[in-house]
Amino acid sequence: MRLLIKPPLAGGLLLMVVAVLALSACGRQDPVSQGRINAFGSTVDLTLIGVDRGRADEITRILAKDMQAMETAWSATGDGPVPRINRMFNESDEPFAAPPSVLPLLRLSQRLSAASDGLFNPAIGHLVRAWGFQGRPADCLRPPPSDLIATAVSGAPSMQDIRIDGIRIASANHLVKLDFRDIQKGLAIDKTIARLQELGVDNASVAIEGNLRAIGSRDGHPWSVPVRGPDGGGILATLKLIGNEAAFTAGNYRRNFTWDGKIYHDIIDPRSGYPAEETASVTVLHADATTADAAATALFVAGPRDWHRVARQMGIRYVMLSDRQGRLHMNPAMQARVKLHGSQREIIVSEPLS
């Protein structure tokens, strides 16, 4: 039996790295400044248009502090607000005051989970932990015992088990364990964009792990984002973002491990307790990164047979899904937006989503 490990990116508190570059070119009127922040176990890349180097440095430091607060508040590991909520859910079904930093995330997650028929489900933290994708050492990654998965699935923990009454929350299902990993990066990007606008920046992009939201334009040109191939290598396509838009991709290549010759990734189907099997990657365009982040996960789980129905329920209008056979599924509006690179894949165009 052979174990090959591709470990997840490490979590923990944000470590700030500021690298602001003022770029110039002949005929360019606005400076392009770039900042970099280490957050959520990854790198957040900022591109600011019309902002000089000194101001960009100041803005990057402000955003780094914001992200440190978000990472601390939303992490499922450590001793922050989310682990404390999980302990309370496990110990009692009595209501208690939710931390103000988490309550908006709870409300958003509950709404998006309901719209996805529970395919986006931040309440399955026990499953995520069991599979080793929640702070477990990389050398311990292996499929969990089948009886453990069966127990977690039989309890059917969901966001709808959480009762929210004003600032007080409760759950009668003691198998509910929150893990916001499939929405927190999107919400962090949305909050960062809002903060940039408060700071007077009208043209910018914020990117993390190839996911991006942009506002305005890049020196008069549309922003664009490359979409990696389903295997994680090479560029499958390029998407142009129009105005204020976000593009998020869920892929089986981001965090996975190989056990006994089979690859297991971290996008868990809440219905089975195992990684979703029919999808290789899903890319979603939406006006906000929070919805795009959650929807990419939900549609990945829905798979090639059910993505269209779930996308309509979630209000998604642009989807490209690559299945395990290498076929590309997309709606007509997405087909008009995407530029494929050297792909000989079969393309299956659905009915319109709108």
Residue 262 has φ and ψ, to the nearest 5°, of -115, 140
Domain residue ranges in the chain? 81-171, 222-354
For residue 352, pLDDT beyond 90: yes
**The domain over range 81-171 is classified in CATH as 1.10.3980.10:** yes
Burial 184-194 (b: 16+ CB within 10 A, else e): bbbbbbbbbbe
Residue by residue, DSSP assigns 247-309 as EEEEETTSSEEEETTEEEES-B-TTTSSB--SEEEEEEEESSHHHHHHHHHHHHHHHHHHHHH
Q: CB of 161 within 8 A of CB of 173?
A: yes
Q: Give the lowest-confidence range in 109-123, 127-141, 159-173, 230-244.
A: 127-141
**The domain over range 222-354 is classified in CATH as 1.10.1380.10:** no
Take residue 27 and report the two structure tokens written for it: 């005929």
Tens digit of pLDDT for each residue in 65-95? 999 999 999 999 999 999 999 999 999 999 9
Tens digit of pLDDT for each residue in 282-327? 999 999 999 999 999 999 999 999 999 999 999 999 999 999 999 9
Tens digit of pLDDT for each residue in 165-191? 999 999 999 999 999 999 999 999 999
> Left, alpha or beta for 232 (phi > 0: left; psi -120 to 50: alpha)?
left
Q: CB of 59 within 8 A of CB of 72?
A: no
Mean pLDDT of the chain: 89
Q: Do domains 81-171 and 222-354 have the same CATH topology?
A: no
CA distance 50 to 30: 5
What global pTM score does this model have?
0.90
